[in-house]
């Protein structure tokens, strides 16, 4: 049994180290080594053991067990407070995200809630000691294998990074950038134009909205080059393009088939002429044969004949 325990302990401390080594960019190496300090990690592993292997059903019992931990392992009130705030902000942000999923408006609608969430998380993860000289970073973020707070936050962070929202939002989460706002205006103009002609003939739409649409396209191209695109803009542009090309059928038609065929068949005709003319007019290359000197075979007259000829 003790062997089993120590194996488990080893396993968990290994997992811990692995997770910290790979998972979190915020932690410096010195902190990581600090984590490996034997006394601390052994107690951490103990917590993990008890917390993880408890069945969910008797949560009351587990609460009892937790309350019986010695003083220094208890989580401070300040940290609990922080945790609650984090939870609240988290819920706010997610609530904002979900309705903005389609059509994508995650950047423009939710950047402020995300900013607040980031603040809260920074409070938790900062080095600064709170009241009563406690830092909640260790106790909240990495005292167990699951690291729930960290995982939750990093999921959203990934989402934010994938959506490239940083490109559309000012650095302090204050507002949308000017280029984004400008793009939105141009986009609105285009959509208005579409709406205006939508009911009537599509060719008219193609003709009349061409300029605004092209302006939008060029703006988009410029932003693409400057890397100032975020998912909102990309999605809006995509939808507009789809409207333009698929719904209204304003793509370029294939009109000059005849000219292309004519030019290419002319080109394809050239080699035929070339090969025919070189076959007919070029002098065929002949090779002069040479007869090497060979020994007389027993009953052979050929060498004599060769010499004669």
Partner 1 sequence: MANITKKVSWSSRADESAAAGESTPLLNGSEQPQHSRQDSLRGRPKEIPHNEKLLSLKYESLDYDNIENQLFLEEERRMSYMGFRCLEISRWVVCGLIGILTGLIACFIDIVVEQLAGIKYQLIKENIEKFTETGGLSISLILWAVLNFTFVMVGAIIVAFFEPIAAGSGIPQIKCYLNGVKIPRVVRLKTLVIKVCGVICSVVGGLAVGKEGPMIHSGAVVAAGVSQGRSTSLKRDFKIFEYFRRDTEKRDFVSAGAAAGVSAAFGAPVGGVLFSLEEGASFWNQMLTWRIFFASMISTFTLNFVLSIYHSHAGDLSNPGLINFGRFEGDSVTYNLYEIPLFIAMGAIGGFLGALFNVLNYWLTIFRIRYVHRPCLQVMEAMLVAAVTATVSFTMIYFSNDCQPLGPESTEEYPLQLFCADGEYNSMATAFFNTPERSVRSLFHNQPGTYNPLTLGLFTLTYFFLACWTYGLAVSAGVFIPSLLIGAAWGRLFGILLASTSSGGAQHSNAIWADPGKYALIGAAAQLGGIVRMTLSLTVIMVEATGNVTYGLPIMLVLMTAKIVGDYFEEGLYDIHIKLQSVPFLHWEAPATSHWLTAREVMSSPVTCLNRIEKVGTIVDILSNTSTNHNGFPVVVQVLESDEPAKLCGLILRSQLIVLLKHKVFVELARSRLTRRKLQLKDFRDAYPRFPPIQSIHVSQDERECMMDLTEFMNPTPYTVPQETSLPRVFKLFRALGLRHLVVADDENRVVGLVTRKDLARYHLGKHGLEELQLAQT
CB neighbours of 209 closer than 8 A, spacing ≥ 6?
190, 193, 194, 197
Establish if 301 lies at the interface with partner 1 (CB under 8 A).
yes
Examine residue 307 and tell whether it contacts partner 1 (CB under 8 A). no
Interface with partner 1, residue 275, by CB under 8 A? yes
Nearer to partner 1, 42 or 264 (CB): 264
Query: What tokens does 28 get?
Result: 């410096």
CB hemisphere CA count around 55 (13 angstroms): 2
C-alpha dihedral over 203, 206, 207, 210, to 10 degrees?
180
- Cα–Cα distance, 28 to 256 (Å, whole number): 64
Question: Does 260 engage in binding with partner 1 (CB under 8 A)?
Answer: yes
Rank residues 25 and 289 by Cβ distance to partner 1 and give the closer one: 289
Considering the complex, state which of residue 225 and residue 286 has its C-beta at the smaller distance from partner 1: 286
Of the candidate spans 12-20, 140-148, 169-177, 290-298, the one that interacts with partner 1 by CB under 8 A turns out to be: 290-298
Closest separation in Å from C-beta 49 to partner 1? 35
The helix (run of H) or strand (run of E) holding residue 16 is: helix 2-23
As a dihedral over the C-alpha atoms of residue 119, residue 121, residue 122, residue 124, rounded to 10 degrees, the angle is: 130
* 282 part of the interface to partner 1, by CB under 8 A: yes
Q: Which of 102, 225, 227, 285 binds partner 1 (CB under 8 A)?
A: 285
Question: Binders of partner 1 among 233-252, rule CB under 8 A?
Answer: 237-238, 241-242, 244-246, 251-252
State in angstroms the smallest separation of the CB of 167 from partner 1: 14
Size of the site for partner 1 (CB under 8 A): 51
- 101 is a site residue for partner 1 (CB under 8 A): no
Distances (CA, A) of 35 to 17, 31, 38, 135, 248: 8, 6, 8, 14, 62
Q: How far apart are CA 233 and CA 238, in angstroms?
A: 8
Q: Which is nearer to partner 1, 22 or 299 (CB)?
A: 299
Cα–Cα distance, 148 to 155 (Å, whole number): 11
If the CB atoms of residues 188 and 251 are measured against partner 1, the closer one turns out to be 251
Q: Please state the closest distance from residue 309 (CB atom) to partner 1, in A.
A: 8
Give the number of residues written for the chain: 309
Residues that bind partner 1 (CB under 8 A): 217, 237-238, 241-242, 244-246, 251-257, 259-264, 267-268, 270-271, 274-275, 278-279, 282, 284-295, 297, 299-303, 305-306, 309
């Amino acid at each position: 049994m003790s062997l089993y325990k120590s194996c488990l302990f080893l396993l968990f401390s290994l997992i811990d180290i692995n997770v910290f080594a790979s998972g979190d960019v915020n932690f410096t190496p010195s902190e990581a080594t600090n984590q490996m300090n034997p006394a601390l990690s052994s107690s951490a592993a103990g917590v993990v053991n008890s917390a993880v292997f408890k069945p969910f059903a008797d949560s009351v019992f587990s609460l009892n067990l937790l309350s019986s931990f010695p003083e220094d392992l208890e989580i401070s009130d300040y940290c609990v407070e922080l945790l609650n705030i984090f939870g609240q902000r988290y819920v706010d942000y997610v609530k904002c995200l979900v309705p903005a999923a389609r059509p994508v408006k995650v950047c423009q609608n939710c950047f402020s809630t995300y900013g607040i969430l980031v603040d809260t998380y920074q409070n938790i993860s900062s080095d600064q000691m709170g009241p009563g000289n406690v830092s909640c970073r260790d106790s909240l973020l990495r005292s167990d294998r699951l690291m729930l707070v960290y995982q939750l936050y990093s999921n959203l962070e990934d989402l934010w990074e994938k959506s490239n929202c940083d490109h559309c939002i000012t650095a302090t989460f204050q507002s949308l950038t000017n280029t984004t706002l400008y793009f939105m205006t141009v986009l609105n103009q285009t959509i208005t134009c579409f709406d205006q002609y939508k009911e009537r003939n599509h060719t008219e739409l193609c003709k009349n909205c061409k300029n605004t649409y092209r302006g939008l396209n060029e703006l988009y191209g410029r932003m693409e080059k400057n890397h100032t695109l975020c998912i909102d803009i990309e999605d809006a542009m995509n939808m507009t393009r789809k409207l333009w090309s698929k719904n209204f059928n304003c793509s370029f038609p294939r009109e000059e088939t005849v000219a292309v065929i004519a030019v290419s068949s002319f080109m394809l005709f050239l080699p035929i002429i070339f090969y025919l003319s070189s076959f007919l007019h070029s002098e065929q290359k002949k090779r002069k044969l040479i007869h090497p000197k060979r020994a007389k075979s027993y009953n052979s007259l050929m060498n004599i004949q060769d010499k004669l000829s």
